[in-house]
Structures are given as C-alpha cells and as structure tokens.
C-alpha cells in the first residue's frame, strides 16, 4: 500500500475530526481519557485552534484518496508525538511508520516523546520499532507510559518534507491534552 502524508491546515479541520472520531470509536482504549475530549462533538473553532497551535497534524491518504491514518506533533518546547492511529484495513503496510517519519522529520534535531497506554502492547512494539524507548514502567494517572526517541545526530537528522511558516498571531503551543 502506498500513501501520501499531508500536513493539515485549519481549513482541513473536518478531515481531522472525521479520522479522529473513527479512531476514538474503533480503538477507544488506545487513547487516554483526556484524548477523548477532542472528538465528534467538539466545535469547529476548537479543531481549528488545535491544528493552528500544533507544529503539525498529518494525515495518511491512500491511493483512493481516503484518509487512513493520523498523527501530530504537539509542541515546540517539548516535542511530543500525539494522536497516532491507522485505520484497521491499512495496518501492517508501513502507514504507521510513514506517519512517524513525518513527525520525526518535522522535529528535526529535537528529541521526541510520546505517551502510550500501558496495556497497549501492540502500540509499544510499534513505537519500539520506530526507535522509541520506554522511560520507566510506572503508568501515570491516566494509565500511560512515556516513550522517548533521542535526537538524531547532525549527520543523520532528516530534512522536513515541507516547511510551513508560522502563522502570524498563531497561539503558542502548550502541553497537549491528547496523546
Ligand atoms: C499501532 C499502529 C499505529 C501501527 O500502525 P501500522 O500502520 O500497522 O504500522 P506499520 O505497518 O508501519 O508497522 C508495523 C510494525 O509495527 C509493529 N506492530 C504493529 N502492530 C502490531 C501488533 N498488533 N502486534 C505487534 N507488533 C505490531 C510490528 O513491528 C509491525 O511490523 P510487522 O508487520 O513486520 O510485524 C496501529 O496498529 C494502530 O493505529 N493501532 C490502534 C491505535 C494505537 O494503538 N495507536 C498508538 C497508541 S496512541
């Protein structure tokens, strides 16, 4: 399966809402409670604000033009990979890796962290295969473990696929509420 990875702009908010709503409906236990706050009933302005304040929200689009996966890079100060999901029919074809690659490229030479539900063995195995390591074994109060991927050296840092200039007046990113 080949997919292209697209970075969303605020006007694309419906696409993210629809993919995210499918993710929460199909795999509710893969996401922490706080992640469920951004779901099908969230109003348009909040979707737009979340896209504008993230460093990047990316969707994977298949050959038929269907959105089959999502991921995000949350903050500038402490880059965090968030909202990782691939539609069931598209799994085990490299879509997840392609999405992580987009975030790794955007993060550049900064270390990346993420949170994963402690009982999500498949997710932890997937992230380990992407170069993330568990930071401790004690779940937080939402049941998540933190994984971290060290910054690549200058020689191996990947170029970002596209550069998006910061929007004037865009809110400064803070810690993500979702995972
Ligand atoms: C985890 C997830 C993102 C992986 O996406 P994917 O597109 O299948 O991943 P890729 O095809 O790029 O990589 C597959 C590799 O990841 C690992 N992996 C993926 N699913 C796995 C599973 N169920 N069990 C064990 N390892 C798994 C394996 O190493 C696998 O390689 P293999 O197919 O050669 O064995 C996807 O299964 C998913 O969306 N799960 C539900 C939501 C979720 O758990 N999100 C992450 C936590 S927030």
101 lines ligand 1 (CB under 6 A): no
8: which 2 tokens? 């969303």
Given the CA of residue 31, which atom of ligand 1 is nearest to it? 48
How many Å lie between the centroid of ligand 1 and the Cα of residue 169? 37
φ and ψ at residue 83, rounded to 5 degrees: 55, 40
Q: Whose CA is nearest to atom 40 of ligand 1?
A: 85
Per-residue pLDDT reduced to its tens digit, 119-152: 999 999 999 999 999 998 899 999 999 999 998 7
The answer to whether the predicted template modeling score (pTM) of the entire model surpasses 0.85 is yes
CA distance 117 to 33: 10
User: Which tens digits make up the pLDDT trace of 4-63?
Assistant: 999 999 999 999 999 999 999 999 999 999 999 999 999 999 999 999 999 999 999 999
Q: Would you state the CATH architecture of domain 3-110?
A: 3-Layer(aba) Sandwich (3.40)
State how far the Cα of 26 lies from the Cα of 90, in Å rounded to an integer. Answer: 14
């Amino acid at each position: 399966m080949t997919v292209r990875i697209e970075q969303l702009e605020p006007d694309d908010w419906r696409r993210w809402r629809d993919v995210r709503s499918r993710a929460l409906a199909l795999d509710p236990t893969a996401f922490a409670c706080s992640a469920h706050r951004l779901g099908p009933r969230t109003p348009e302005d909040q979707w737009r604000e979340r896209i504008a304040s993230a460093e990047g929200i990316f969707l994977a689009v298949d050959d038929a033009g269907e959105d089959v996966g999502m991921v995000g890079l949350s903050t500038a100060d402490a880059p965090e990979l968030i909202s990782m999901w691939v539609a069931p029919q598209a799994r085990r074809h490299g879509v997840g890796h392609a999405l992580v690659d987009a975030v790794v490229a955007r993060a550049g030479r900064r270390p990346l962290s993420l949170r994963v539900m402690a009982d999500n063995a498949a997710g932890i195995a997937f992230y380990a295969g992407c170069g993330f390591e568990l930071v401790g074994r004690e779940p937080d109060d939402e049941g998540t473990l933190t994984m971290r991927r060290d910054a690549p050296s200058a020689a191996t840092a990947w170029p970002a696929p596209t550069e998006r200039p910061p929007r004037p007046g865009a809110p400064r990113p803070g810690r993500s509420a979702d995972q």
